[in-house]
């Protein structure tokens, strides 16, 4: 293994040796990676919303606001967890929206949004948790550009430790802190490459 590593690294060194100048580091604000103390909030939802917005997530409270957001964004067809579909279809704010309860892989580009249930959320980090047991379709949560996690207020936890205590036995839990992000070796941050480009958390009672 060590010989293989040295072989690979040697080839990299040989390839870089002729280069006279290395690329400059990208410019960046040194204050960006500093975790600042947050203001006081009157509720865990307010703290969660503040933290989620800091990572380009979108917190929304209630079905009225969610339906309005979808209409204003022009998103009219999406996948929806079958356990949520009847309630959402009956809500006036969802009139004119098509919610399909079977995610067809061949029609992946047709779905403009996906709605699934959140297992929980963490206020101090703005993180949404999605377990295998509670997520009706992993593709429905990952492949549409916009993913909406429906969060019950009694599963919004103040901190990570409390959230872990409520994990249960599910062996697979995804933590989504804002939209999907990745950064290449040049430090360019791109959202929506490996998952949703818009991550919404909708708080419901």
**Residues 9-26: pLDDT tens digits?**
888 888 888 887 777 777
pTM here? Answer: 0.82
- The yes-or-no verdict on residue 131 having pLDDT over 80 is yes
Condensed to tens digits (0 to 9), the pLDDT of residues 76-91 reads 999 999 999 999 999 9
Q: What pLDDT, on the 0 to 100 scale, is given for residue 55?
A: 93
Which helix (H) or strand (E) covers residue 45, if one does? Answer: helix 44-54
């Amino acid at each position: 293994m060590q010989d293989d590593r040295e072989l690979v690294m040697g080839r990299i060194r040989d390839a870089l040796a002729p280069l006279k100048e290395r690329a400059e580091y990208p410019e960046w604000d040194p204050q960006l990676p500093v975790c600042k103390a947050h203001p006081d909030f009157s509720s865990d939802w307010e703290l969660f919303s503040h933290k989620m917005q800091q990572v380009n997530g979108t917190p929304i409270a209630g079905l009225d606001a969610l339906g309005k957001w979808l209409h204003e964004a022009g998103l009219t067809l999406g996948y929806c967890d079958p356990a949520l579909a009847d309630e959402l279809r009956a809500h006036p704010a969802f009139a004119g929206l098509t919610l399909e309860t079977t995610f067809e892989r061949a029609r992946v580009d047709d779905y403009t949004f996906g709605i699934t249930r959140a297992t929980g959320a963490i206020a101090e980090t703005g993180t949404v948790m999605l377990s295998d047991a509670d997520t009706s379709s992993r593709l429905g949560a990952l492949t549409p550009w916009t993913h909406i996690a429906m969060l019950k207020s009694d599963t919004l936890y103040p901190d990570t430790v409390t959230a872990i205590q409520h994990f249960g036995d599910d062996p697979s839990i995804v933590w989504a802190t804002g939209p999907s992000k990745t950064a290449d070796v040049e430090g360019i941050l791109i959202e929506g490459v490996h998952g949703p480009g818009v991550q919404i958390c909708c708080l419901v009672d």
